Amino acid sequence: MVRKGQRVNATFDTRSEAEEWAVRAEAAILAGQKPAQISPISGRQTVADIIARYSREVSPAKDGVRWEEIRAKALCRMPVFNVPPPSFGPSDLASWRDGRLRTVSASTVNRDLNFISAVINHAIKEWCAPFAANPVHLIQRPKNPRARKRRVSVIERAAIADALGWDRKSTPVTKMQWVAAAFYLALETAMRKGEILSLRWSNINLEKQFAYLQKTKNGDERYVPLSSDAIALLRIIGVRADEDPVIHVASGTLDQFFRRARDIAGLPDLHFHDSRREATTVFSKKLSNVLELAAVTGHRSLNVLKDYYRPDPSDLAKKLG
């Protein structure tokens, strides 16, 4: 649409929404507003509609697209979001928060709030959505539970390998054995599960002893130094063609087999991600300062890194003399 030499456009699901917006947009231009100030959000659209649009248009460009699509569908079914943006305030969100906390953990609620906040911020900045403010910034967030302290002993890692049928000496063949190899590689490198599963042989330089991660959880690239034990493990796994994956198993399959193995091994409280904490703590004894440790693990926040560093108090006492 063009009025007074100014062009504005927007896309809607129905003709009636488009016509309603066109009337509002024309009135806004005649009132002297600039195109950037005119919201491409129909007056009939709800917060749920905006969440669904974000899931369709923005989430696909993210690494966490699957999680965001699942979360968006769940939120869109909740009545609290079935209101127009101007009516969606902090009291509504606070009531939703309190109700959610009766069924899920504080960590889950905070992840939901992070997603809702990202949706609203994007809608305000890119779609000129008529939110009075971002209500996520105006409510108290629930306190996350204390960080996990779980480490992984040598006996426990061997028990997991046994439960998955891997002898730690031969190239994995079955999917269960590949899960065991992934766990061992995580213990030797402090890499996250997703980083390990995305790793290709072309990303590994055995001669210079590093693995290159083009994109990590925080969006940065990272070089992961490989210890002699890590290199020995990679040679057991078996070097292949450049674009072959290092670990031949899908994420969902890994989760399923690892949970089964920990139950068989009698370790129901063990998580795959505990390998990152164990590796970080072991590395801390070998490196001279925290900056080197952060460079190895890829942590950008020292506060987060602290959650992964779980030294034995007796080891620290020995250093004090």
By annotation, the residues acting in catalysis are 192, 217, 299, 308
CB contact burial 253-264 (16+ within 10 A = b; e otherwise): ebeebbeebbee
The residues, ordered by sequence, that sit 6+ positions from 209 with a Cβ below 8 Å of its Cβ are 225, 226, 227, 231
Helix (H) or strand (E) holding 222: strand 222-225
The gap between the terminal CA atoms of the chain, to the nearest Å, is 77
Nearest residue to 212 via CA among 195, 236, 237: 195
Q: What is the rounded CA–CA span in Å between residue 316 and residue 284?
A: 12
Q: Side chain identity at 194, as an amino acid letter? A: G
DSSP for 193-221, please give it.
HHHHHH-BGGGEETTTTEEEESS-TTS--
Distance CA 134, CA 48 (A): 15
d(CA 76, CA 74): 6
Q: Is the distance from CB of 161 to CB of 168 less than 8 angstroms? A: yes
Question: Within 10 A of 275 (CB to CB), how many other CB atoms are there?
Answer: 27
- CA 281, chain centre distance (Å): 22
The residue length of the chain stands at 321
2-15 residues labelled b (16+ CB within 10 A) or e (exposed): eeeeeebebebeee
Look up residue 59 and give its two tokens. 């989430």
